[in-house]
Amino acid sequence: MGLSWQQGPLGATVGRFLIPDWQPQRLLFAEPARRRMRVELAGEWIADSEEVILLHEPGRYPVAYFPISSISSTALIPEERKTQHKDLGETSWFTVSVGGKESRHAAWQHTGLPEHASILDGFVAFAWRAMDGFYEEDERIFGHAADPYHRIDIRQTSRHLVVQDSGQTIAETRRPLVLYESGFAPRWYVPRADVDESFLRMVEGQTFCPYKGLASYYDIGERHKAAWSYQEAWPEAARISDYISFEADKIDVFIDEKKLDLEPGQKVTPHGIDRGLDPAELMERAKDRQ
């Protein structure tokens, strides 16, 4: 979650602003990123700027906008394509071309901005999956532009956690980790040694979290993807590496004998792996972050 994605305060929030007047359904927020960002295509840097603007739009990941002066003068080929953004007016599109590689509809600029959105005047955004990579300084950023409002805290606890399926105990521990992630319900992670893995059947398919890494899933009996594990979590979340978490709306999870129920912020929207990366390459590149 971030400012505008999923349960963020500008998205489908589970909280509310305590204001007396009516609040518009859509609120956009733009701010300086305050970090150097670069865009790579075909082995070349086509954009490099410390003046990036982040746009937070309801229901979307944050989008990085680059000053047009920071973009290679030959990289952008104007297209005839024009679209209309519901809040930001007419939008012009570009093909991005470099080193003999072309990517159509890969960049855009809002050319009919209302006065209150003039902060984006002269800025261009790139489609994340159309580029070969986005970087902050020399480190590749996976998934989407980093959201400064997204936070993860992992805490050790001695609370008694039990996972059961039709009365059969699958996991029991007094040393779980609880992961608090901005806007989401707490997630409880169990050391693998405290799980009876005979109940778990790994399934094909993985999802990617830009903040935690690559997640693998397990069926438990007839319950599809009732558990998951970040077998090699990103360094920022390394404490949960190879721990197992259980989906409380699919399997019975008890904390200090109290059954967990589905609550707002528990459901999440899976994120796909970046264009051109398979899981093995993603994990290999992730080692560079350590």
Structural domains of the chain, with CATH: 29-141 (2.170.150.40), 152-289 (2.170.150.40)
pLDDT digit string (tens) for 112-138? 999 999 999 999 999 998 999 999 999
pLDDT digit string (tens) for 195-219? 999 999 999 988 888 889 999 999 9
> Does residue 269 surpass a pLDDT of 70?
no
Q: Are 286 and 234 in contact (CB under 8 A)?
A: yes
| Angle at the Cα of 214 from the Cα atoms of 209 and 215, rounded to 5 degrees | 95
pLDDT digit string (tens) for 132-159? 999 999 998 888 888 888 889 999 999 9
123 - beta bridge partners? 67
CA–centroid distance for 69 within its chain = 28
pLDDT digit string (tens) for 74-97? 999 999 999 999 999 999 999 999
Collapsing DSSP to helix, strand or coil, 237 comes out as helix
> Does residue 64 surpass a pLDDT of 70?
yes
| Position 66, amino acid | F
> Does residue 12 surpass a pLDDT of 80?
no
Q: Record the tokens describing residue 197, joined without a space.
A: 């893995």
> Residue 270 to residues 44, 205, 245, 246: CA-CA distances in angstroms?
30, 11, 16, 16
95 - beta bridge partners? 77
> Does residue 52 surpass a pLDDT of 80?
yes
Q: Are 166 and 160 in contact (CB under 8 A)?
A: no
Taking the CA atoms of residue 111, residue 117, residue 122 and residue 123 in that order, the dihedral angle to the nearest 10 degrees is -100
> Residue 73 to residues 65, 68, 76, 121, 277: CA-CA distances in angstroms?
16, 9, 7, 18, 28
